[in-house]
Amino acid sequence: MKKNNLVVPFVKWAGGKRQLLPELLKRIPKFTTYCEPFVGGGALFFYLQPKKAIINDFNKDLINTYITIQNDVESLIQYLSTYKNDSESYYKIRELDRTPLFHRMSDTEKASRLIYLNKTCYNGLFRVNSMGEFNSPFGSYKSPNIVNEPTLRAIHSYFQNADITFLSGDFEVAVKGLKKGTFVYFDPPYDPVSASSNFTGYTNLGFGKQEQRRLKEVCDKLNAKGIKFLLSNSATDFILDLYKEYNIEKISAKRVINSNANNRGNVDEVLIRNYD
């Protein structure tokens, strides 16, 4: 299958991997199936455009949007073209998940809401509060690309021609029963470098030290089965120690989304793998 350059992330996502891509690409082994348990915006996934893939994220609304692009892209584009970029419309759409109406919205309507909010909210950040309600403020951008038709159609056509399984649950479930020849890329919420740099708004559950340890155990299980994995995380002492028996490389990368301006800049990241 020929790669299509229009196939790129359709949402901006905290922790998006576009900047780290060149470093990731140098380390991708040959595989038969690609698996990404924390897909987010899917920078690496869309770059690779694998023929066979298992894609997962805990965020159900996000995975619903992937599935909608696969199955109902024209209605999605129709809905998106009805939205306006002003603060009144924004907050009206934003508050829908606080009303009973939300449960009656179709999957395509929900997907269009997610893309609209992502394109028009402040910093393009999908952030939810402890109730799981979207809470980013309006972004006041001049002309956000709310309806990116070429990209949405290109992704649709890629999804139609590839064999992709979409899952929306915990990472541990997403890697159950993987076969040798599968390559797994883990991009979990990062271990915080400092208390103030901790971005925990991906889900209303958070991702603490216990979750990082559980992820390491999952990596050990894959390793025992001879399945190759690559994992990115921040270069904290905790992570360096946790994965000390694996191949660890430090990479300096600019973090784009960081709510605390003082923490912007270069923070070391690590790429960890179990193969040469």
Residue 251 CB, nearest approach to ligand SAM (Å): 15
Q: Give the residues lining the site for ligand SAM (CB under 6 A).
A: 13, 15-17, 37-38, 40-43, 56-59, 170-171, 187-189, 202-203, 207
Comparison of 16 and 139: residue with beta carbon closer to ligand SAM: 16
Comparison of 24 and 146: residue with beta carbon closer to ligand SAM: 24
Whether residue 50 contacts residue 162, with contact meaning beta carbons closer than 8 Å, is answered with yes
| H-assigned helices in the chain | 21-25, 43-48, 60-71, 73-80, 87-94, 101-104, 107-120, 149-161, 171-174, 209-224, 237-242
Strands 163-167, 52-56: pairing is parallel
Comparison of 13 and 134: residue with beta carbon closer to ligand SAM: 13
What angle do helix axes 149-161 and 60-71 make, rounded to 10 degrees? 80
Residue 237 CB, nearest approach to ligand SAM (Å): 20
Comparison of 97 and 187: residue with beta carbon closer to ligand SAM: 187
Separation of alpha carbons 66 and 52, rounded Å: 15
Comparison of 84 and 250: residue with beta carbon closer to ligand SAM: 250
User: Burial, 26: exposed, middle or buried (Cβ in 10 Å; 0-12, 13-18, 19+)?
Assistant: exposed
Residue 74 CB, nearest approach to ligand SAM (Å): 25
Residue 215 CB, nearest approach to ligand SAM (Å): 8
Separation of alpha carbons 22 and 27, rounded Å: 9
Residue 176 CB, nearest approach to ligand SAM (Å): 13
